Chain A
Amino acid sequence: SAVISQKPSRDICQRGTSLTIQCQVDSQVTMMFWYRQQPGQSLTLIATANQGSEATYESGFVIDKFPISRPNLTFSTLTVSNMSPEDSSIYLCSVATPGTGELFFGEGSRLTVL
């Protein structure tokens, strides 16, 4: 199992600003995943963060908008840049138990952009 801490848990931001979300895991993991969940919707994978290499972004997501850092095996950050109201979502950090179908999630960061 894994315990994941995310900060901030929620924030209200002004359009055009940027916010960095932090994710701390209680064990070393190779891959960390960042998801977005818009209100009433499913989870959409933004990118996979690997330690020591560039993050891998999914179709529709770009590094300029969602830069990711992965400085070590227990920590990652996701920045939401130049925010607009359409970025209002819950952002979730997750890790997987290797070789299984089990994902563990942080409690999420609920962003509201005005």
Chain B
Amino acid sequence: GQSLEQPSEVTAVEGAIVQINCTYQTSGFYGLSWYQQHDGGAPTFLSYNALDGLEETGRFSSFLSRSDSYGYLLLQELQMKDSASYFCAVRAPGNQFYFGTGTSLTVIP
């Protein structure tokens, strides 16, 4: 089976940096993805790690440690529009994707 845990809620100040963690237990693992979902919208892809280390895409970075079954999403220079739900997702050997519990990020002025 698949189990991915995230903090349920995070609040951060505009302009700050926030880290959203994801720990996983899976029966197979190809990589870890991150998605953003605004209220009423579909999830959109942010980042993907297949190997250990840090991937940087603009203000967003994602980190993976396969030995620790752990990853995180780092959001820098937070903007009000970053208020959304964030999901990690494991890409499994059958190329299915299993999603984490989700983190609701609120950015405050």
Contact = CB atoms under 8 A, between A and B. Distances in A.
A53 interface: no
Given A100-B48, A101-B32, A101-B50, A108 B87 contact: no
Interface string B37-50: 00001111100111
Contact of B87 (A33, A42, A100): A42
The number of chain B residues touching the other chain, given as a range, is 20 to 34
Given A41-B102, A100-B48, A101-B48, A33 B42 contact: no
A33 B97 contact: yes
B60 to A, nearest CB: 14
Interface of A: 31, 33, 35, 41-45, 48, 56, 59, 92, 94, 96, 98, 100-108
20 contacts: A33-B96, A33-B97, A41-B102, A42-B87, A42-B101, A43-B89, A45-B96, A92-B42, A92-B43, A96-B97, A98-B95, A100-B48, A101-B31, A101-B45, A101-B89, A102-B33, A102-B48, A103-B43, A105-B44, A108-B42
Given A33-B96, A42-B87, A103 B101 contact: no
Nearest to A102: B45
